Structure 1
Amino acid sequence: MTIQAEIKKLQSKSRSTTLQKFFKTGPGEYAEGDIFLGLTVGQSRGIAKKFKDLTLKVLAPLMTSKIHEERLIALVILCERFPKAPETEKSKIFNFLIKYRKGINNWDLVDTVAPAVFGPYLFQRDRQILFKYAKSEKLWEKRIAIMSTFYFLRQHDFTDTLKIATLLMHDEHDLIHKAVGWMLREVGKRDINIEKKFLNKYATQMPRTMLRYAIEKFPETERKAYLAKK
């Protein structure tokens, strides 16, 4: 049985309807046209495990599929493969994702692959591609830029998270506001003084959602003080 047939076998009309609404696939919404078959994340990961050895050539059609779960499963396969792959294979995986990045076009897809492949691959390499994406007009490239730095944060490297957060400060989309605020909160988990220094400089400029996400774990009095600056 092909991976596509395995995916289709588990489709659920009721879950499909729910997911289509949750992931904003309607006309004019951020994921317009994305098709969900209704698999659970657990089911998708189970299929990824079963088909973990598929080649990049076989995964390529999944990355261009209109079906969300096919793209997700392809990304999960690559995320699981990446850490143990030799350096030459890691480069092939990264370049494959760059080539097919149009298929990384919803927040769950970005948040799956950016910290697991983009971040680790770029950690000790030139990171200019992330700054290019941060300046892109494409929503998902911008989210890839900031979410890739999640890996850097886990290594206590805060510099590029803060630089990219600054570049995205005035972005208009709430999915960018939420992602940047989330990464700033992650900075604070590791060094609260660095986060507060950034907030003290930029809180008055930040979109309210971004700020709220960034200060979510602060004591109530501090949250109110920062929000009062808006």
Structure 2
Amino acid sequence: MASAATAGTVVAELEAEVSPEALASVRKRLAPDEEALGVRMGTLFAIAKRHTRLPLSEVQQLLAHPAYEPRLAALCILDFKARRKRIDGHGRGTLARTYLGHHDRITTWDMVDRAAPRVIGLWLVGRDKQILRDLALSPEPLRRRTAMTAPLGFLDTDDVEIGWELAAQLATDRDPLVHKPVGIFAKHAGERDRDRLVAFLEEHVEGMPRPAVRLAVEKLPPDLRSRWV
């Protein structure tokens, strides 16, 4: 069923699920002038998962849609594709280039968070990470968020150090779209290497926004956490 579907199929399924209540909830996370349909997130994820095999040309059509939900569905589909066990390096590269080539269509933090760890992060395992360094220098906060969120895909690999490098680079970023992912990465990476997290905090905590610090120490035992919050 999904393999014969089109972007129009996905949009029609989303439009069949709109409600005023969902629209009111969705509008809270969007810019005032951004279009939205009004679909519950659980429903949107289920629709996207049904269409994991949607051709990438159709995913790109969803990314071109003016409304929030079709574009989020496109990022969800990219994420579901990246989770497939049989995907190879070429396939991962194609997904990543679709994401990066349409970054201007990513307009909310949840679009980044949904796809960046697997679509970008898993693609870069064992590869050069310069693209993340370049994104971290972008004037656009959502591109910097991609740079900081993609390393969540490295947590179980030997590539995790690039995440700490980027966290150090972005530790003093004042934009919540960026400094919160710094804290989130530090929290999860710190679960695997507490000493590394402690060293990171000792070096950077004074310049970090407080929300980032609170996120970073969330999993630490109370005696350590109380040193910083």
TM-score with structure 1 setting the length? 0.89
* Structure 1, gaps ≥5 residues long: 27-32
Shift of 1:195: 0.4
Quick check: 1:10–1:39 contact (8 Å CA) kept in 2?
yes
Q: Distance in 2 between matches of 1:67 and 1:95?
A: 22
Would you say the 8 A contact 1:135–1:167 is kept in 2? no
Distance 1:86 1:157, change over 3 A: closer
Indicate which of 11, 18, 25 corresponds to 2:31: 25
Contact 1:13–1:37 under 8 Å retained in 2: no
What is the CA–CA distance in structure 2 between the aligned matches of 1:111 and 1:8, rounded to whole Å? 24
How far residue 87 of structure 1 moved from its aligned partner, in angstroms, is 3.0
Q: Which residue of 2 aligns with 1:127?
A: 129
AA of the residue aligned to 2:59:
L
**In the TM superposition, what is the alpha-carbon distance from 1:59 to its structure 2 partner?**
1.5
- The structural deviation recorded for 1:42 is 2.2
| Partner SS, residue 57 of structure 2 | helix
Q: Secondary structure at the match of 2:226?
A: helix
- The one of 137, 144, 147 equivalent to 1:145 is 147
Distance in 2, matches of 1:154 and 1:37, equals 37
| Counterpart for residue 113 of structure 2 | 111
How far apart are 1:156 and its partner, in Å?
A: 5.4
1:29 is matched with which residue?
none
**Structure 2 letter corresponding to 1:185:** K
Residue pairs, 1:116-195, within 5 angstroms: 116-155=118-157, 157-195=159-197
Q: Are the structure 2 counterparts of residues 36 and 151 from structure 1 closer, same or farther at C-alpha, using a change threshold of 3 Å? A: same
Who is 2:61 aligned against? 61
- Residues 173, 208 of structure 2: 8 Å contact kept: no
Aligned-residue offset at 1:150? 0.3
Unpaired segments ≥5 residues, structure 2: 1-7
- For residue 7 of structure 1, the aligned residue among 14, 39, 62 is 14
Distance 2:218 2:9 in 1: 44
Residue 156 of structure 1 contacts residue 190 of structure 1 at CA under 8 Å; is this kept in 2? no
| Aligned equivalents of 2:159, 2:131: Cα separation in 1 | 17
1:216 aligns with 2:218: yes
SS of match in other structure, 1:201: helix
Cα distance in 1 for residues equivalent to 2:42 and 2:163 = 30
Identify if the C-alpha distance between structure 1 residues 72 and 222 changes in structure 2 by more than 3 Å, giving closer, same or farther: same
Q: What displacement does 1:177 show?
A: 1.6
* Alignment partners' CA distance in 1, 2:80 and 2:156: 18
In structure 1, C-alpha distance between the alignment counterparts of 2:64 and 2:147, rounded to whole Å: 21
What is the Cα deviation at residue 169 of structure 1?
1.8
Deviation at residue 24 of structure 1 after TM alignment: 4.2
Instruction: Figure out how many residues of one structure are paired with residues of the other and give that number.
Output: 220
User: Identity, % of aligned pairs?
Assistant: 30
Which residue does the alignment assign to 1:197?
A: 199
Q: Distance in 1 between matches of 2:226 and 2:92?
A: 45
